[in-house]
């Protein structure tokens, strides 16, 4: 009898201990999606081919969370629910207050889902912004969302064996801080950084992260500096994909294969040009796909 109990405890604890998470890519486009409003060029002419805004779901056995509430939140929540039918939608983690990353919160309000105290995890300035500006403040006042403030570098437990940690990154912080997230279990570590100005402006090293993590989903807004001839690219800095590939050049084949580019501007050829995509893959990196499970 005692032996049975011990065996049961061992199996049960062993199972909890080894609980893992899945990452589901819910969209790969930059904030404005693809096609982008107002673009009449080839990249956006085919309105049949659209790409949802960058977001990921993190799922354990019985719960899932979504990082960022994009303008495509409706279809993305549905995608996550279909992919993880026995898991409950347990909350949203926000990276920052740019349109592609939080405006999907509108679908939680009275006009739509009318959620009850859905946990929304965000940094202090982001929380302040939501509490003090309509229509987001109404979500707080009506109790549709429950804001949970998180701190740079401090972990939140998603389950007994999975944690999530915000890491501040340099970005145009007009209304909020900007963070990326590390999700970690005993078996797996994933880094999600959809927006950052330039790797060189960061106090941390993306190369070191590539060695430490198992999965990296990183900012690939622009492929190179020639993409937007009519815009001053220094006003909207991002690491160009060509720069990131150079930065990560010294990594081993195994470490390079952990890198998945995401958050593509409508002008980025990685969204549609198979040859360029292949060029990136031939260098050992990956180009994220919506619906992909990592």
Spell out, one character per residue from 196 to 215, where the chain touches Zn ion: x when CB under 5 A holds, - when not: --------------------
Least separation, in Å, of the C-beta of 192 and Zn ion?
Answer: 12
Q: Give yes or no for residue 31 binding Zn ion (CB under 5 A).
A: yes
**39 lies in the binding site for Zn ion (CB under 5 A):** yes
Please enumerate in sequence order all residues whose Cβ is within 8 A of that of 176, keeping only pairs 6 or more positions apart, or say none: 96, 97, 122, 123, 125, 126, 129
- Sheet (strand 55-59) strand order: 22-27, 55-59, 63-67, 88-93, 118-122, 145-149
Closest distance between Zn ion and the C-beta of residue 161, in Å? 30
Binding residues with Zn ion: total (CB under 5 A): 8
168 binds Zn ion (CB under 5 A): no
Name the β-bridge partners of 121: 93, 148
Q: CA 155 to CA 110: how far, in whole Å?
A: 31
Q: Does 266 bind Zn ion (CB under 5 A)?
A: yes
Q: What are phi and psi of 228, to 5 degrees?
A: -120, 80
Interface positions, 81-100, toward Zn ion (CB under 5 A): 98, 100
Q: Which two tokens stand for residue 134?
A: 């309509």
- Choose one: 42-50, 107-115, 142-150, 245-253; the region binding Zn ion (CB under 5 A): 42-50
- Kindly state the smallest distance separating residue 33's Cβ from Zn ion, in Å: 10
CA distance 206 to 80: 28
Contact window for Zn ion (CB under 5 A) among 20-28, 31-39, 117-125, 138-146: 31-39
Q: What residues line the site for Zn ion (CB under 5 A)? A: 31, 39, 43-44, 98, 100, 195, 266
């Amino acid at each position: 009898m005692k032996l049975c109990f011990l065996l049961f405890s061992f199996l049960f604890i062993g199972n909890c201990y080894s609980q893992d998470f899945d990452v589901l890519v819910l969209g790969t486009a930059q904030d404005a999606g693809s096609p982008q409003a107002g673009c009449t060029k080839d990249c956006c002419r085919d309105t049949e081919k659209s790409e949802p805004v960058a977001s990921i779901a993190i799922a354990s056995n019985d719960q899932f969370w979504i990082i960022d509430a994009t303008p495509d939140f409706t279809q993305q929540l549905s995608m996550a629910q279909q992919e993880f039918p026995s898991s409950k939608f347990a909350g949203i983690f926000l990276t920052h207050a740019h349109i592609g990353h939080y405006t999907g919160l509108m679908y939680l309000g009275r006009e739509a889902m009318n959620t009850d105290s859905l946990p929304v995890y965000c940094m202090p300035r982001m929380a302040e912004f939501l509490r003090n500006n309509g229509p987001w403040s109404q979500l707080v006042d009506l109790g549709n969302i429950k804001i949970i403030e998180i701190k740079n570098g401090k972990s939140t437990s998603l389950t007994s064996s999975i944690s999530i940690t915000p890491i501040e990154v340099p970005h145009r912080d007009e209304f909020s801080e900007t963070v990326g997230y590390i999700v970690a279990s005993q078996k797996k570590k994933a880094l999600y950084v959809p927006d950052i100005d330039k790797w060189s402006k960061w106090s941390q090293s993306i190369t070191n992260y590539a060695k430490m993590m198992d999965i990296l989903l990183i900012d690939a807004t622009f492929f190179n500096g020639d993409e937007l001839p009519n815009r001053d690219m220094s006003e909207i800095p991002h690491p160009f994909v060509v720069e990131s590939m150079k930065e990560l050049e010294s990594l081993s084949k195994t470490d390079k294969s952990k890198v998945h580019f995401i958050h593509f501007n409508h002008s980025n050829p990685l969204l549609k040009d198979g040859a360029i995509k292949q060029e990136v893959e031939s260098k050992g990196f990956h180009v994220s796909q919506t619906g992909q499970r990592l």
